Structure 1
Amino acid sequence: MPPVLWIGGPPGAGKTTVARLLARRWGLRWYSADAHTWEHRDRALAAGCPPAVRWERLSRAERWAVPSEELLAMSLHHERGPMIRDDVRALPAAPLVVAEGTPVTPQIAGTGDRSLWLLPSPQVQRARLAERGLSRGAAALYRRLLREIEEQVREHGGRVLTVDGRRGVRETAAEVEELFAAALAAGPVAGGAAERRRLLRYGNRAVVSQHLAFFVRPWAPPDTGTTVYPFCCECGRAGCEELVELAVSDFPAPPDAASPPLLAPGHRAPGGPGLRERPALQGQPDLRWQPVLQGQPDLQGQPVLQWQEDQGGER
């Protein structure tokens, strides 16, 4: 298994935002448990896991109407932990991985100096979930997950960073960075811009794969091709924290080694192995691929919120 930093916590804690910031600042591989939700559900179905089978058999309206304890069981919170560990174990030996997700539990992450749980106060979580426009059932599940994770972490003595709303995102990330200082210094981290670009594409591609996997479920609505996601700029420059809002359907097609990098306006990616930048033709405008965002619909009501709810995941 590669060296790993584990970040757990319930939906609304800010895990994904913090993990992505750390990964980009230090040149780490970002592993998001959310991005593997449907893969994990398929594994559970293949194993005949009753809660996974029941989830698939219920309609979307029916599943969110069941009691929160049943929702917790069908979220596969405990079953997915070993799957996450297996995923991480299969990753390359370097660089350092920052793995985050709600199913990251003390049982798989341990309680040493390489694991941490972000636990929002009920008030903070409630406010953040309200901003997402979730259904009543999804919000109930996410509140139940907060209580479940609090109990698990308390029982095993895991490290906790309380998210009480007094710190902004960057302040929270800085505190997490300080708590992981020794591990970050030990590395290993990405060796240059080309490796950073490949790591950024790995994270971005995982988001796209998760989106596509949702829409092949037999109960999923049609994919309108308009879902927008804030992808990481793939320029590979150390210190770049720009996001590119882009329709998932417009993300560069594989193979990733030959496709151009996704770049924020004004950013460039010097030539190198993989994710090559297309040179401008003499006398012609630069034809490097850039997103066109005009006319993109609002995130509210788009499938991105639907698959957030249906997977029991968060950002």
Structure 2
Amino acid sequence: MNVLWIGGPPGAGKSTVARRLARRHGLRLYASDARTWAHRDRAVMAGHPGALRAESLTPAQRAALPVEEQLAMWLHEERGPMTVDDVRGLPSSPLIVAEGTQVVPAMLPHGSRAVWLTPPAEVLRERLTARHGPGRVPELYLLLGELIAAEVSRAGVPAITAADAMDEVERFFAADLARGPLAAGAEERRRLLREANEAVAEQYRAAFARPWNTADSSAVARPFACECDGHECDEVLSLAIEDLPPTPLLAAGHR
């Protein structure tokens, strides 16, 4: 597969690095979070006990359970092979950058080009606190951080511990990026950005469709990337999924 893999625990910076790498070099982005509910539906159809139980509970009920039970419902191991299947189904050109918490050494095909982001535990906790609020960091995320760090260490695979990993990841994949193939021009870059934004929209459509989700999707803003052709653009626009325009989504002053 023509794929660059980035793994690591929640809060490691995988999504940010993969998004910037894809934008800078003209890569197709695969973000595992955007496939969360598709994977859960597959597990439910297969009769997986953890998936079935998770769908029977509200988020608050799941969060109140012991962390070991939450882990069983997280489908961490089960989603790895699903992710590989997803990526195999994507066009092989341009080069794909795929990131996800479930990207672990054991699930990757032999010979895969992969790196794991494993910043120190205190950095992860600080980032997760900023994301979720003081005293509200999910215990499950901290456990996943420990499990992934231990697996990466046992496997002896390439890992980056720097808090700001972008430059090191780019250097790690330098030869792969030089070989490509990369997006052919501005039009293809825009198509790739739209594809990634549509995946985000689909992720939230599926979440809002859950029986236990009573939120009004039109009242909840979600982040979408600016679809301009700037290689270094990092603008994110917040809007409801229903408001994602059919034409390119552009930040003010971008084209």
| Superposition TM-score tier, normalisation by shorter sequence | over 0.9
Instruction: Give the structure 2 partner of residue 263 of structure 1.
Output: 250
Q: Deviations over 1:18-72 (max 9, x none)?
A: 0000000000011000000000000000000011111111232221111111111
Give the conservation status (yes or no) of the 8 Å contact 2:21–2:170: yes
Equivalent position SS for 1:6: strand
Cα distance in 1 for residues equivalent to 2:217 and 2:4 = 36
Deviation string 1:104-128 (CA, Å, 9 cap, x unpaired) is 1112335867201111211111111
Q: Distance in 1 between matches of 2:80 and 2:185?
A: 32
Does residue 107 of the first structure (1) align with residue 94 of the second (2)?
no
SS in 2 for 1:92: coil
Counterpart residue identity of residue 158, structure 2: R
CA distance in 1 between counterparts of 2:128 and 2:28 reads 27
Of all paired residues, the percent bearing the same amino acid is 54
- Note if contact 1:64-1:138 (Cα within 8 Å) is conserved in structure 2: no
Give the superposition deviation at 1:235: 1.9
| Cα distance in 2, alignment partners of residues 138 and 238 from structure 1 | 33
Indicate whether 1:205 and 2:187 are aligned: no
SS in 2 for 1:261: coil
Aligned positions of 1:227-238 closer than 5 A: 227-238=220-231
Aligned ranges 1:88-107 → 2 under 5 Å: 88-107=87-106
Distance 1:113 1:104, change over 3 A: closer
In structure 2, the residue matched to 1:150 is 149
Match of 2:244 in 1: 251
Separation of aligned partners in 1, 2:184 and 2:74: 38
Q: Would you tell me which structure has more helix in proportion to its own residues?
A: 2
Larger radius of gyration: 1
Gaps of 5+ in 2: none
Contact 1:116 1:161 in 2 (8 A): yes
**In the alignment, does 2:182 pair up with 1:195?**
no
- Is contact 2:129–2:135 with CA below 8 Å preserved after alignment? no
CA distances 1:108-164 after superposition (whole Å, capped 9, x unpaired):
33586720111121111111111122697861000000111112212222111014x
Name the count of aligned residue pairs. 255
3-state SS, counterpart of residue 98 of structure 2: strand
CA–CA separation in structure 2 for the residues paired with 1:30 and 1:136: 33
Deviation of residue 228 (structure 1)? 2.2
Letter in 2 for 1:122: A
TM-score under structure 1 normalisation? Answer: 0.77
* Structure 2 equivalent of residue 291 of structure 1: none
Deviation at 1:224, TM superposition (A): 4.4
Distance, in Å, in 2 between the alignment partners of 1:113 and 1:175 is 18
Q: Distance in 1 between matches of 2:48 and 2:70?
A: 14
Question: Which structure 2 residues correspond to residues 1-315 of structure 1 after superposition, within 5 A?
Answer: 1=1, 3-109=2-108, 114-133=113-132, 139-163=138-162, 165=163, 167=164, 172-252=165-245, 259-268=246-255
Contact map agreement 1:64 1:137 (CA 8 A) in 2: no
Deviation at 1:187, TM superposition (A): 0.7
* 3-state SS of 2:190 partner: helix
CA contact (8 A) 1:226 1:249 kept: no
User: Unpaired runs of 5+ in structure 1?
Assistant: 253-258, 269-315
The one-letter code sitting in structure 1 at the alignment partner of 2:33 is D
Q: CA RMSD in A?
A: 1.8
Q: In structure 1, what is the Cα distance between the partners aligned to 2:122 and 2:55?
A: 32
* Higher RCO (CA 8 Å, separation ≥ 6 residues): 2
Contact kept in structure 2, 1:80 and 1:103, CA below 8 Å: yes
